Amino acid sequence: MPTDQLLVELGDYIWTLAALSGPLLVAFTLAFLLSVRTVAPADLGKLARAVFSYLMMLVAVILMSTAAIVTALAAMTASALNDPAVHLVLLLLFAAGGILFLWVDQSVRHMDKYITRIPSLLYDFTLRIVCYVAIVFSILYLLLMSAFIQTEGWWKVPGVILLYSCLVVWLLLTGEETPNRFRLLPRRAGSKRGSKRRKK
C-alpha cells in the first residue's frame, strides 16, 4: 500500500471514530459541568487543577497511541514510513507522551480523592467510550468491507486499531487490580492512607 494512500485511509478512519464518539463525549462533559455544583466553592481551584491534569493525561495517551499505531502500520507495510528518521520522530512522540503521563500521574497522586473522583471517572469512561466505539466499528468494518474491497492490505488500518483498542481496554480493566503493572489509570489519591487505616 502506498504511503499517501495509507495516511489518507488512516486519517479517514480516525475522523469516522471521532464522529461516532463525539456525541457521547459531549454528554459526559455536560455531566461533569453539572457536577461542579457538588464541590465547595473553596475547592473549585483544586477541581480545575484536577481537570487540567486529566486532560493532559488524555493528551499523553493520544500521543502514545498515535506513535504506536503509526509504528505498527509502518512495520506491516513497505512504505516510506519505514525510514529511520520517521521512526525516530515516532519514538520521540511516544517518549513525550510517556513522560507527560508519568508527570501528571505524580501530580494526581498528591491530590485529594474527593477532588479527583469526578475527573478520574470522566477520564476513565472517556477512554472506554473511544475504545469500545473503535472496537465495534473496526469489527463491523472488517466484516462488511471484506466482501466489497479487493485492495491488498485494506484490513491493516482497522485491524491495527482493533488490536490496539483491545489492549487499552485490557489495561483499563486490569489496571486497578494489578498495581505493579503498567496501567492507563492513575493511582487513586488517598489510597495509601486508606490502606494504613485498615491495617490499624
Provide the mean pLDDT of the chain: 75
* Rounded average pLDDT over 177-192: 51
Give me the pLDDT at residue 195, please: 45
Is the per-residue pLDDT at 62 higher than 50?
Answer: yes
pLDDT digits (tens, 9 = 90+) for 102-158: 999 888 888 888 888 888 888 888 888 889 988 998 898 888 877 776 677 778 888
With beta carbons less than 8 A apart as the criterion, state whether 62 and 134 touch.
no
Cβ atoms 155, 200 nearer than 8 A? no
**Of 85 and 171, more confident:** 171
Question: For the CA atoms of 65, 71, 75, 80, what is the dihedral angle to 10 degrees?
Answer: 140
The pLDDT assigned to 193 comes to 47
Give 75 or 23, the one with higher predicted confidence.
Answer: 75
The pLDDT of residue 88 = 83
C-alpha cell at 90: 515516532
Q: What is the pLDDT of residue 24?
A: 61
CB–CB of 110/189 below 8 Å?
yes
pLDDT of residue 143: 86
The model scores a pTM over 0.85: no
Check pLDDT > 50 for residue 50: yes
Task: Tell me the average pLDDT across 88-94.
Answer: 86
Residue 6 parent element (H or E): helix 3-35
Task: Say how many CA atoms lie within 13 Å of 161 toward its Cβ.
Answer: 29
Question: What whole-number distance in Å separates Cα of residue 161 and Cα of residue 145?
Answer: 16
pLDDT digits (tens, 9 = 90+) for 14-29: 666 666 666 666 766 7
For the chain, what percent of residues have pLDDT higher than 70? 66
